[in-house]
Chains A and B, each alone.
Chain A
Amino acid sequence: MKGLAGKRVVITGGASGIGAATVERFLQEGARVAVIDRDAKGGRALCRKHPDLAGVIEADVSDPASVDRAFNDLDGLLGGLDVAINNAGISIRHDFMDITPEEWRRVLGVDLDGVFYVAQQSARRMLAGAGGVIVNMGSTSGMNGYPRYADYNSAKAGVIELTRTMALELAPKIRVVAVCPGYVWTAMQEAEYTPEMKAAVDAKIPLRRHARPEEIAALFAFLASDEAPYITGHPVIIDGGEIAGGLASR
């Protein structure tokens, strides 16, 4: 991708899943990549796998003080910021009637508050520098209803609207875009699904399969690069056609 070589990039939740695939893609593109993740062990494994990684900072994106410390460390590692990939997220599969206030707060805390804290810290540095690109992790869950994920869906709908508003306020110096994946085969997904459930979902997706994490990483790379200089303020759906007809939610 044009213009990613040498870019200073932070990826939250980069120790596993889509985040780890995105780290690998940006390193291949020649970017300087640092990761923020609360998983210290996963972070050390990532550093061993990628010796060219600028570093992994242990932090919880749902805690503003933790994010503040992480960005101070990040300044030391990268000396500025060109691209922020707001990828960290969690989900809990539970019925609406069973959601506890603590669970609701935890999911919204990571998936929406965390995106806000990281985006604001990132934008502060980009505005002080030459500008940049912030890509937030939305989801088709923020566009359609899905049973058993009321908290997650609400957070993702919030991320999409946060993206639009940030794009309007931060233009033209900063582009802000959201990536909205459908089903992606990651450890997070694997923990929640039986093989039968996966097959049933695959059958409803027009491309007949889940996404590979690398496919989401490729969209992050495109949107963050100079291949997409006129794209800002929009959610980009990458779902194998799933919500083109709302099939998977039936």
Chain B
Amino acid sequence: MMKLENRVAIITGATSGIGEASARLFAREGARVALTGRNEARGREVASAIAAEGGSAVFVRADVRVPADCRHAVEETLHAFGGRLDILFNNAGVFHPHNAIDCTEEEWDETVDASLKGAWLMSKYALPAMIAQGRGVIIHQASGWGIQGGDEAVAYCAAKGGLVVMTKAMAIDHGKQGIRVNCLCPGDVDTPMLAADAEARRMSYADYMKGAANRPLGRVGTPDEIARAALFLASDDSSFMTGAALVVDGGGIAG
């Protein structure tokens, strides 16, 4: 039995990493998926790969920092899939490793706008269609560093912490309209973002990964493991969960 049969999902930042893994998994579970991202070539590749597996996917180029792009992504999704929208996974995000002194205004704005403002903008344009249906699920990609602090990541921690509380605020406002809003809080996951962070911190990927694996389960997470948690939050198996932060980090912030 497929868990997302007849559902329509938008996944932002779906051209690589957790977003791509989630798009593929959601499609395998029966959802029709709209992928957004800034890298058009990569986005079309992922959509084609899903179609090759028998799934249904479209790519819509969008920079979630831009309101018109967010509105367009929602409109294109509704247009492509018969006017339905059941799931919004606000996954897009960027990371710059800096403390409060080193962080430039551009880096701050890019980080906070992509993660936090983008999640709000996408929700703003997606919610009316969900409310009209009387049901919908929104998942924000937060982080363990939205609950505890991390080193050299001041803008990222601010944005992710904002997402954890925005999740609760949106859950309160839209629960009575049949909308569930939850967030995921992954730990380190083996994605291109992690490789880029290793480079920015001038560390070899092997050394970086060794440090990242220093947590109770003794390893970093895989994109598929985070995608499976997103699937749970998107599916009816979590029908009473809203306003929650699901931490998926190998026990990283338990101690």
A42 in contact (CB, < 8 A): no
A residues near B254, Cβ cutoff 8 Å: 164, 167-168, 232-234
Inter-subunit contact A167/B237 (CB<8 Å): no
Taking a contact as CB atoms under 8 Å apart, the answer to whether B242 and A168 are in contact is: no
Q: Is the CB of A230 within 8 A of B244?
A: no
Binds A, one of B65-73, B199-207, B214-222: B214-222
**For the complex, is A105 an interface residue (Cβ under 8 Å from B)?**
no
- In the complex the two chains form, what is the Cα distance from A240 to B180 in whole Å? 8
Question: How long is the Cα–Cα vector from A172 to B218 in the complex, in angstroms?
Answer: 7
Residues on A with C-beta less than 8 A from B174 are 206
Chain B residues closer than 8 Å to A239, beta-carbon distance: 240-241, 243-244
User: Does B238 interact with chain A (Cβ within 8 Å)?
Assistant: yes
| CB-nearest residue of chain B to A180 | B244
CB contact between B172 and one of A181, A222, A241 (< 8 Å): that residue: A241
Per the bound structure, the CA–CA distance linking A82 and B31 in Å amounts to 32
Q: How far is the CB of A219 from chain B (nearest CB, A)?
A: 7
CB–CB A233/B244 < 8 A: no
Given A167-B216, A171-B218, A206-B242, do A245 and B168 touch, yes or no (CB 8 Å)? yes
**Is A94 at the interface (CB under 8 A from chain B)?**
no
Among B38-46, B93-101, B245-253, the one that faces the other chain is B245-253
Which chain B residues border A237 with CB–CB below 8 Å? 241, 243-245
Q: Is B104 close to A, CB under 8 A?
A: no
Cβ–Cβ contact A228 & B240, under 8 A:
no
Determine if A40 is an interface residue (Cβ-Cβ < 8 Å).
Answer: no
The one of A212, A228, A233 in contact with B229, judged by C-beta atoms closer than 8 angstroms, is A228
Q: Are B241 and A171 in contact (CB under 8 A)?
A: no
Judge if A44 is at the interface, Cβ distance under 8 Å.
no
- With A167-B254, A245-B168 known as contacts, the answer to whether A230 contacts B242 (CB < 8 A) is no
Q: Are B255 and A231 in contact (CB under 8 A)?
A: no
Q: Is the CB of B240 within 8 A of A232?
A: no
Complex Cα–Cα for A244 and B171 (A) = 7
Q: Residue on A with the closest CB to B249?
A: A230
B176 located at the interface, meaning its Cβ lies under 8 Å from any Cβ of chain A in the complex: yes
In the complex, whether B228 has a CB less than 8 A from a CB of chain A is: yes
B interface secondary structure, majority: mixed
Residue A73 interfacial (CB < 8 Å)? no
The 8 Å CB contact of B255, one of A219, A228, A233, A240, is: A233
> In the assembled complex, which residues on chain B have CB atoms less than 8 Å from the CB atom of A50?
none
Which residues of B sit under 8 angstroms from A234, Cβ to Cβ? Answer: 247, 251, 253-254
Q: Size class of A's contact patch?
A: 35 or more
Q: Which of A5-26 contact B (CB under 8 A)?
A: none
Name which of A168, A171, A234 has the most chain B CB atoms within 10 A of its CB.
A234
What's the Cα separation between A172 and B231 when bound, in Å?
Answer: 24
Q: Are A206 and B239 also in contact (CB < 8 A) when A171-B218, A230-B249 are?
A: no
Does A219 contact B216, Cβ atoms closer than 8 Å?
Answer: no
Contact of B242 among A164, A171, A241 (CB under 8 A): A241
Complex alpha-carbon distance, A247 and B175, angstroms: 13
Q: Assess the A168–B255 pair: CB atoms within 8 A.
A: yes
B152 contacts the other chain (Cβ, under 8 Å)?
Answer: no
- A232 proximity list for chain B (CB < 8 A): 216-217, 250-251, 254
User: Could you say which of B169, B187, B216 has the most chain A C-beta atoms within 10 Å of its C-beta?
Assistant: B216
Q: Is the CB of A207 within 8 A of B216?
A: no
Known: A207-B242, A218-B238. A241 touches B175 (CB 8 A): yes
B247 x A231 contact (CB < 8 A): yes
Which has the most chain B C-beta neighbours within 10 Å: A181, A212, A236? A236
Query: Chain B contacts of A103 at CB under 8 A?
Result: none
How long is the Cα–Cα vector from A160 to B238 in the complex, in angstroms?
20
Which residues in B have their C-beta under 8 angstroms from that of A164? 254-255
A-contact 0/1 string along B152-175, CB 8 Å cutoff: 000000000000000111011011
Contacts of A227 in B (CB 8 A): 228-229, 231-232
Taken together as a complex, chains A and B put the C-alpha atoms of A243 and B247 apart, in Å, by 17
Which residue in chain A gives the minimum CB-CB distance to B165? Answer: A244
Q: List 26 A-B contacts (CB under 8 A).
A: A171-B216, A172-B216, A206-B171, A206-B176, A207-B180, A207-B242, A215-B239, A216-B240, A219-B237, A221-B237, A230-B221, A230-B225, A230-B250, A233-B247, A233-B251, A233-B253, A233-B255, A236-B246, A237-B245, A239-B240, A241-B242, A243-B243, A244-B167, A244-B168, A244-B243, A244-B244
